[in-house]
Amino acid sequence: MLHIYNTLSRHKQPLRTVDPGVVRMYVCGMTVYDFCHLGHARMLVGFDVVQRWLRISGYQVEYVRNITDIDDKIIRRAVQSGRRMHEVTSFFIDAMHADERALGVQPPDIEPRATQYVGQMLDFIGALEAKGLAYRSSEGDVNYAVRKFPGYGKLSGKSLDDLRAGERVAVTAAKNDPLDFVLWKAAKPDEPEESRWPSTYGPGRPGWHIECSAMSHSLLGMPLDIHGGGPDLKFPHHENEIAQSEGAFGGTMATTWMHCGPMMVDTEKMSKSLGNFRRIRETLAQGQPPEDQADYAVNSREAEMLRFFIVRNHYRSIQNYAPDNLLDAQNALDRLYQAMLNVPPAEVELDWSQPSAAAFKAAMDDDFNTPGAVAVLFDLAGQANREQSATASGLMRALGGVLGLLQVQPDTYLKSPTRYLGGADDGEDALDAERIDALVAERAQAKAARDFARADQIRAELHTHGVELEDKAGGLTQWRRV
């Protein structure tokens, strides 16, 4: 049975859904004012694996991941660039989708945009006001009265006293209490006209937290079976969602809360605010894409390497981004593909009673333990090489597909260029496949003529360009980039 670590209960527990066999999952998505970075990649890939395993496990999954397309940062980006807000958000939504395709991330079943649900947000705010949980400030905002919700802090484990002690915001006319948060922001004179909506509170726009409460409730109801997101959303965003949703409707907002771990750079979390982020496209593009381009040419070998780099770490663990870690991931993934090249995989149907498949399933049922699942792939690679077993190779490929891995033809994959293996295929010195094939043919001719000095010279030349040769029986020579 599938067990998931629940952030709310702080332990693993069996997945029990409101409707048997159905999982209603809501994951907080991107605020689309810039390109996605590798921290976002971790969240996208992590929950992609979750929804894939849920479906393979026989659940009917209703997967919603929202887009925040109204926000202070979006407004600033529009004003600074001289573009309309919808132009900014449309561009970065297209860019996000390009990143997802590159990483093999399947789209959610529903991808709502905040601007499509402003009416539902206003209804939500009205319900909170009617229950005495929301109030209007003298400056025109509508705020949530945190101290009137008795369960505040249960997700993050923060008490109101602790929060108040660490609060640096003074009480102003905008808030009765520094802990209160905004539900509706009154429009400011210098903001674009398209950033305001009419309401009984005057023209303005929704606060960030209310959008997810409104969209998840409108699309999936309460309680959600799974609510997830990045590590920085646990507080205050998800804590505030609980206060809003349970304050307005009672009951439980979500039975299971999931949060992936952070992507770190030298012990600091990767984030745009810290300026230490690396964009997904900077890692995957064949040449750095121009800033005005939403889509880009993807290096498919590096794209799968990045997915593998993320998947072979547990989704809740702290993961450190470093070139050496990417190099290690590339080498490891190459070993799996090399096993399939050595022993072409047979077509197999997954039988979960088979020992290797059962071990894979046991790992995935243990809170999506992808490191354990990846270990099974390496065991199968070893078995395939030792026993020349096409069945083991085929099972490795089939189980890899569950994680979104190992679906490229091995010869194609291993001949693709990469910047992470120390070869010269990173720039102008890179050799294309046609030139490599020509040198391999010339080497074969040299060997046939017993000109072994020239044959060795060609091997050495190819090695300097990150190309490794392997002579096989019958005079066949295979090559791959390393």
Instruction: Answer with the residue of higher pLDDT: 422 or 90.
Output: 90
Does residue 174 sit in helix, strand or coil? coil
- Span 207-213, average pLDDT: 96
Proportion of the chain above pLDDT 70, given as a percent: 90
Phi and psi at residue 254, to the nearest 5°: -145, 140
Q: What is the C-alpha separation between 128 and 114, in angstroms, rounded?
A: 19
User: pLDDT category, 429, cuts 50, 70, 90?
Assistant: low
- Give, in words, the CATH class of 3-265: alpha beta
Closest CA to 348 of 397, 408, 388, 413: 397
Mean pLDDT for the stretch of residues 359-369: 98
Q: What is the pLDDT of residues 294-324, one digit of tens each?
A: 998 888 899 999 999 999 999 999 999 888 8
Q: Residue 287: what pLDDT? A: 66
Per-residue pLDDT at 169 exceeds 50: no
β-strand partners of 268 = 265
Averaged pLDDT for residues 81-91 = 95
Rounded mean pLDDT of 357-372?
98
Among 420, 436, 414, CA closest to 335: 414
Read off φ and ψ for residue 50, nearest 5 degrees: -60, -50
**Across the chain, what does the average pLDDT equal?**
90
Residues 6+ apart with CB under 8 A from 342: 384, 385
Q: 200 pLDDT band (50/70/90 cuts)?
A: very high
For residue 211, is pLDDT > 90?
A: yes
In Å, how far are 274, 288, 361 from 310, measured between CA atoms?
21, 22, 19
Cα–Cα distances in angstroms (integers) from residue 472 to residues 350, 469, 475, in the given order: 32, 10, 6
Does residue 269 sit in helix, strand or coil?
strand
Interacting residues of 88 by C-beta distance below 8 A, sequence separation 6+: 32, 33, 74, 77, 78, 81
Which range has the worst mean pLDDT, 63-67, 196-200, 281-285, 328-332? 281-285
In whole angstroms, how large is the CA radius of gyration of the chain?
A: 26
Smallest Cα–Cα separation from 303: which of 318, 287, 331, 283? 283
Check residue 271 and give its pLDDT.
Answer: 67
254-265 pLDDT per residue, tens = 999 999 999 988
Residue 296 one-letter amino acid: Y
Tokens read off for 370: 């992808």
Per-residue model confidence (pLDDT) at position 453: 79
User: Which of 52-56, 282-286, 331-335 is predicted with the least confidence, judged by mean pLDDT?
Assistant: 282-286
Q: Which pLDDT score, from 0 to 100, does residue 168 have?
A: 45
How many CB atoms within 10 Å of residue 472?
Answer: 9
Mean pLDDT for 93-105 is 97
Task: From 397, 404, 272, 415, select the one nearest 346 (Cα to Cα).
Answer: 397
Alpha-carbon gap, residue 95 to 295, rounded angstroms: 6
Question: Which are the contacts of 205, defined by CB distance < 8 A and separation ≥ 6?
Answer: 70, 118, 184, 185, 187, 195, 196, 197
pLDDT band at 172 (very low <50, low <70, confident <90, very high): low
Could you tell me the pLDDT band of residue 73, with boundaries at 50, 70 and 90? very high
What is the predicted pLDDT for the residue at 36?
A: 95
pTM listed for this prediction? 0.90
pLDDT at residue 57, rounded to an integer: 98
**Domain extents for the chain?**
3-265, 323-414, 433-481
Tens digit of pLDDT for each residue in 214-244?
999 999 999 999 999 999 999 999 999 999 9
**Length of the chain, in residues:** 482
Whether the per-residue pLDDT at 422 is higher than 60: the answer is: no
Q: Output 221 or 176, whichever has higher pLDDT.
A: 221
Q: What is the pLDDT of residues 145-162, one digit of tens each?
A: 999 999 999 999 988 877
* Lowest mean pLDDT segment, chosen from 94-108, 204-218, 268-282: 268-282
The CATH number assigned to the domain with range 323-414 reads 1.20.120.640
Give the count of alpha carbons within 13 A of 190, CB side only: 4
What local confidence, expressed as pLDDT, does residue 236 receive? 94
Task: Give me the pLDDT at residue 428, please.
Answer: 47
Asked whether the beta carbons of 424 and 436 are under 8 A apart, the reply is no
